[in-house]
Amino acid sequence: MNIIGLSIGEQCAASLIIDGKLVGASQEERFEKKKGYSGFPTKTLGYLLKQNNLKKRDIDYVYVINEQVTGLEFSLIQRFNSFSIEDYLAEAKNYYYPILFKNKKVQLLKIFKKKIVKKTFPKTIVDELIKNGENNKNTQIIRKKLVNEFFGKKVNVKFINHHFSHALYAYITNPINFKKALIFTADSLGDNENSNVYLADQNSMQLLFKSNKLNLGRLFRNLTLLLGLKPYQHEYKLMGLAPYAKKKEASKVKLIFKKYLQKFDGKWIYKKKPKDHYFTFKKLLEGFRFDNIAGGLQSYFEEIILGWFLYFIKRYKKIDTVMFSGGLAMNIKLNQKIDELCKKHGLNFFVAPSSDDYSHVLSLPFFHYVNNNKKIKKITMRRNSLRKKINNLNLGFDFNKFNQQKVLNWASSKNWKIQNLNLKKLSYYLEKDKVFALCHGNSEFGARALGFRSIIADPKNFDIVKKINLSVKKRDFWMPFAPAILDNYQKKYLKLNNFKNHYFMASGADVSEVGKKIMSAAIHPYDLSSRPQIVSKDKNMFFYRIIKSFGDFSGRYTLLNTSLNLHGLPIVNDYKDLIYILENSLIDGCILENKIILRNF
Ligand SMILES: [Fe+2]
């Protein structure tokens, strides 16, 4: 049985499971080589089929995310790929403002006519979107057409509810042997919901609560724009900025937010519902410094969500585990706080890895193995439980021998040194503050680099941050890098709380005194916290061996790890991307499966 998971539109991605096993998944941007590429994941599907010796006709079912309208017009103008800050401001002023303040009907594609990329979809679909737009009536028809067009025949297409998918994703990635769990899902909006709670056990998952009234995703997004950063993309930079805030000033900002959304008491209670989240807060926040806005927002965000969690935790006394999934679960600072709350109540806590809307494709095909009782909003797993169906995210493009050879040929033509990989020698280079690209195996799905497509360095000296930024990353000055730590050393380098699943960089963690000394370049420079990746043999053997060898050499079993990409580009997929990054940066060398190439140093 061959089943495809599809996300069409702005979080364009696809996955394939064969006989119940997830064999591959990728975001289309990696193949298109355009960050935020939107549309139909043609290239990803082509790759997944070819890799698994399948023809289009071999696909039995296609599961597509979202039952309701998805915003295909935004894909047609390639918003996530092409919008500048000015474009987002124009969107706020010319699109959202008339709708929310003047009650006018506005057509997005008229405002951004020049931005339409017609080849995003087949002509008939483009014409339909320009003429009628996407709505709840035509969305499934349009997307079904796109699927049939790709497969060249009518295939079995099923549309899955957005938040059920977020919840199932947490369920199938959670390694904890729970008996009863609450699963919280939260984001800006998906299928007209944004804050749901599910009760899960061995074989089922039932909706307990749903709402579309949580405004935090929207608020975060609009304040990101207000601070001159890209919405939908750079929200995490506000989180990174928050620790710099002055407490007194940040609490004034927080009070402004509190005038609107108050708290959760069985439902979201607004004191006063804002008309919008950009213009309203632009006025109210005038004169507040950027870091204090970020600090006030993060603090407000944590308080509101913690209140929501606590409400259900108190009422469902028989649970032993709490899970969190969806776009808001990408906030690692919040996750650390939820972890503390769960610890107080004697509960396990798990955050689904990289759980934004791309992650839907990882859960979608598994809906084939559940009975879906839509009346009582409950899904029951058929036969076996779907627990632990996914335990790693190295699901993307395979950097095989052919790719490696291409890079070696390039290196030799550019007079780079080519050596057999000697881990001891590599450790020596790392300790001499050399910065390396690491590229091997299947690329990691999602937002975090997990040592398959990473840039690595010794985090002991803070100066390496400047070197990495000057030579390759150009990261914003306030944003920290992250440490990758060998699993046996996590207790030594971190102050671990309840959360024991730092394999996917899904939660923040405080750092021990030892850790602070040896990882200064990989922790937040101001509050000295971290977003660690624990590296184990079973998750990434090659990376494990590199860190182990570096530890044996230096006494420090940790490396700085950041994603292998240039500013504004997706993470490296194939040899072409890797060569591009080596040519357009001053990175010192690159580690491949069994070779190492060195720029002359
Ligand atoms: Fe979502």
Q: Residue 370 sits in a domain of what CATH number?
A: 3.30.420.40
Residue 388 lies in a domain: no
Percent of residues, the chain, with pLDDT higher than 70: 100
The rounded Å distance from CA 384 to ligand 1 centre is 27
Residue 259 lies in a domain: yes
pLDDT band at 601 (very low <50, low <70, confident <90, very high): low
Neighbours of 488 (CB within 10 A): 12
Say if residue 138 is in the same domain as residue 263.
Answer: no
Say if residue 202 is in the same domain as residue 232.
Answer: yes
DSSP string computed for 521-554 = GGS-TTT-EE--EEE-TTT-HHHHHHHHHHHHHH
Say if residue 469 is in the same domain as residue 328.
Answer: no
For 91-113, the pLDDT digits (tens) are 999 999 999 999 999 999 999 99
Residue 115 lies in a domain: yes
The rounded Å distance from CA 23 to ligand 1 centre is 23
The rounded Å distance from CA 185 to ligand 1 centre is 8
The rounded Å distance from CA 191 to ligand 1 centre is 9
Burial of 601 (0-12, 13-18, 19+ CB in 10 A): exposed
Residue 386 lies in a domain: no
Say if residue 367 is in the same domain as residue 414.
Answer: no
DSSP 8-state secondary structure symbol assigned to residue 17: E
Say if residue 470 is in the same domain as residue 370.
Answer: no
Give me the domain span that covers residue 175: 163-381
pLDDT band at 518 (very low <50, low <70, confident <90, very high): very high
> Token pair 């729970």 is at which residue?
178
Determine the Cα–Cα distance for residues 75 and 401; give it in Å rounded to an integer. 35
Determine the Cα–Cα distance for residues 313 and 182; give it in Å rounded to an integer. 8
What's the one-letter identity of residue 539?
K
The rounded Å distance from CA 477 to ligand 1 centre is 29
Say if residue 578 is in the same domain as residue 486.
Answer: yes
Neighbours of 547 (CB within 10 A): 27
The rounded Å distance from CA 216 to ligand 1 centre is 13
For 303-334, the pLDDT digits (tens) are 999 999 999 999 999 999 999 999 999 999 99
C-beta separation of 169 from 13 below 8 A:
no
Neighbours of 137 (CB within 10 A): 9
Residue 412 lies in a domain: yes
For 248-281, the pLDDT digits (tens) are 999 999 999 999 877 899 999 988 889 999 999 9
**In sequence order, which residues have a C-beta less than 8 Å from that of residue 484 and are 6 or more positions away?**
451, 454, 456, 532, 533, 534, 535, 543, 547, 558, 559, 560, 561
The rounded Å distance from CA 186 to ligand 1 centre is 7
Say if residue 484 is in the same domain as residue 349.
Answer: no
Domain boundary residue among 360, 381, 402? 381
Residues, Cβ < 5 Å to ion ligand 1: 187, 190, 326, 357
Q: Is 238 helix (H, G, I), strand (E, B) or coil?
A: helix
The rounded Å distance from CA 107 to ligand 1 centre is 24
**In sequence order, which residues have a C-beta less than 8 Å from that of residue 149 and are 6 or more positions away?**
122
For 190-246, the pLDDT digits (tens) are 999 999 999 999 899 999 999 999 999 999 999 999 999 999 999 999 999 999 999
The rounded Å distance from CA 590 to ligand 1 centre is 36
The rounded Å distance from CA 351 to ligand 1 centre is 14
Instruction: Identify the pLDDT of residue 85.
Output: 97
Per-residue pLDDT at 385 exceeds 80: no
C-beta separation of 85 from 231 below 8 A:
no
The rounded Å distance from CA 253 to ligand 1 centre is 27
Burial of 216 (0-12, 13-18, 19+ CB in 10 A): buried
Say if residue 331 is in the same domain as residue 276.
Answer: yes
pTM to 2 decimal places: 0.97
SS3 assignment for 341-371: HHHHCCCEEEECCCCCHHHHHHHHHHHHHEE
The rounded Å distance from CA 327 to ligand 1 centre is 6
Say if residue 316 is in the same domain as residue 460.
Answer: no
CATH number of the CATH domain containing 106: 3.30.420
Beta strand spans in 355-440 (E): 370-373, 378-381, 394-399, 417-420, 436-439
Domain boundary residue among 160, 193, 215? 160
The rounded Å distance from CA 70 to ligand 1 centre is 11
The rounded Å distance from CA 241 to ligand 1 centre is 24
Q: Nearest to residue 348, comparing CAs of 228, 233, 527, 179?
A: 179
The rounded Å distance from CA 115 to ligand 1 centre is 25
Q: Nearest to residue 558, comparing CAs of 439, 460, 466?
A: 460
The rounded Å distance from CA 348 to ligand 1 centre is 23
Mean of pLDDT over the chain: 96
The rounded Å distance from CA 168 to ligand 1 centre is 12
Instruction: Identify the pLDDT of residue 18.
Output: 97
For 386-440, the pLDDT digits (tens) are 888 999 999 999 999 999 999 999 999 999 999 999 999 999 999 999 999 999 9
DSSP 8-state secondary structure symbol assigned to residue 570: P
Residue 526 lies in a domain: yes
Residue 476 lies in a domain: yes
CATH number of the CATH domain containing 405: 3.90.870.20
Say if residue 155 is in the same domain as residue 172.
Answer: no
The total domain count for the chain is: 3
The rounded Å distance from CA 81 to ligand 1 centre is 19
The rounded Å distance from CA 354 to ligand 1 centre is 12
For 528-581, the pLDDT digits (tens) are 999 999 999 999 999 999 999 999 999 999 999 999 999 899 999 999 999 999
The rounded Å distance from CA 355 to ligand 1 centre is 8
> Token pair 């050499």 is at which residue?
553
The rounded Å distance from CA 359 to ligand 1 centre is 9
- Tell me the average pLDDT across 437-466: 97
Say if residue 272 is in the same domain as residue 362.
Answer: yes
Residue 145 lies in a domain: yes
C-beta separation of 211 from 267 below 8 A:
yes
The rounded Å distance from CA 194 to ligand 1 centre is 7
Domain boundary residue among 381, 416, 436? 381
Instruction: Identify the pLDDT of residue 450.
Output: 97
Say if residue 24 is in the same domain as residue 173.
Answer: no
The rounded Å distance from CA 357 to ligand 1 centre is 5
